[in-house]
Amino acid sequence: MRGGAGQPPEQCQGRSYADGETFLYRGNPLKLESGDEASGARVRPSGDCLIVSAPPEGRRKTLLWWYTAETEKIARDLIPAWSKKLGVRPRAVEVKYAKTRWGSCSSSGRVFLNSRLAMLPDRVAEYIVVHELCHLKHMNHGPGFWAEVRSALPGCEALRRSLRRHERDAVI
């Protein structure tokens, strides 16, 4: 799996990356807290905090890198098992930042997942992975596609609604 967010987008409006600001991690709200900048740029969750060791001007880039790496871990955990269950095999899986799309699947079999997946509850992230893998069988959102998704994840409609509730706050 190839990772990397490429060029980070401009700082999001409304985000200051200051101590006390809330960021989601696996569906849980965590308060940003400064870590030791001398230890190098890194992020680690601790209790109800997300500790960011980076200077203020580098916090967004550090968070983007970390969320991308966390989403890559989620993909490594989910893709093999779900690929086997669904009888599909993606040609490649890539994690990158996208402002609006949670994932996509190309006709050549490449699956792209948004770096922000690590902000969502585990079951919602799993829904997105399954959704994209189902596109390897149906490259559209027709009845056959939705039947495939519902067969794999009964109750997927509730997960889709949960995604809509979380996506407003899942901003890096």
Domains of the chain: 22-166 (3.30.2010.10)
Q: Which residues pair with 141 in a beta bridge?
A: none
Q: 77-81: long-range contacts (C-beta < 8 A, 24 or more apart)?
A: 78/125, 78/126, 78/129, 79/1, 79/111, 79/129, 79/133
Tell which residue, 30, 59, 34, 60, has the closest CA to residue 46. Answer: 30
49/33 Cα distance (integer angstroms): 6
In sequence order, what are the residues at sequence separation of 6 or more whose Cβ sits closer than 8 angstroms to the Cβ of residue 46?
Answer: 33
Q: Which burial class, exposed, middle or buried, applies to 68 when counting CB atoms under 10 A from its CB (0-12, 13-18, 19+)?
A: buried
How much is the pLDDT for 37? 82
Residue 37: count other Cβ atoms within 10 Å of its Cβ: 14
Q: Which mean pLDDT values do the consecutive 10-residue runs of the chain (172 residues) have?
A: 39 80 97 88 96 94 97 98 98 95 97 98 98 98 98 96 93 92
pTM of the model: 0.90
How much is the pLDDT for 159? 97
How much is the pLDDT for 5? 40
How much is the pLDDT for 9? 44
Q: Which burial class, exposed, middle or buried, applies to 127 when counting CB atoms under 10 A from its CB (0-12, 13-18, 19+)?
A: buried
Q: Which residue in the block uniquely carries the two structure tokens 């995604």?
A: 163
How much is the pLDDT for 39? 76
How much is the pLDDT for 13? 56
